[in-house]
Amino acid sequence: MSGDRFMRIHGPEFKAMSERVLRATELTSRLNVLPFEDEKGKADLFEQILGKPLPPRTTIYPPFYTDHGLKLDLAERVFINQNCTFLDYAGIRIGERVMIAPKVTFITVGHPVDPVERRSWLTGGPIDVAENVWIGAGATILPGVSIGHDAVIAAGAVVADDVPPASLVTGDKATVNRQW
């Protein structure tokens, strides 16, 4: 979906999204300064950020960042380590028993490559992570990606394409694909 128009930047949907971004930023700022042992305070803020309580046996270690929160769907027994970012406006689903290492970034929204269009439109697509996936430190998952069950994403990998089940994904080298 990266080449398709998704949302006009100067439209009402964008305005509503922008208001939610401000609210999510306020809530995560409060979450990220709580004492680590304040379980009740963290649970209350996660409920406001996600719009529902954390699922059973799901653990998130702050600092935690999201631009929306309400479109982040976490299953049971998910573990999210420190300093992860979920830009979830187009939706992120994390399946059961997924382990996410520190500094992992999920991005569901971007801009067109064309310099004129990038100031007018957002592009993107949802991210779907199936059960029992392990995502290594510093990995980046880009818009529209599905990751199959039991897959392993190596530390530092940039995932721009779907990942088959029970596979290992590595790589972080940028490549020039075209010039204009």
Q: Catalytic site residues?
A: 111
Q: 175 is written with which tokens?
A: 């490549």
Using CA atoms, how far apart are residues 145 and 52, in angstroms rounded to an integer?
25
Distance from first CA to last CA of the chain, Å, rounded? 21
Instruction: Find, among 43, 91, 86, 94, the residue nearest to 66 by Cα.
Output: 86
CB-CB contact of 139 with 154 (8 Å): yes
The gap from C-alpha 11 to its chain's centroid, in whole angstroms, comes to 23
DSSP state of 15: H
CB-CB contact of 122 with 87 (8 Å): no
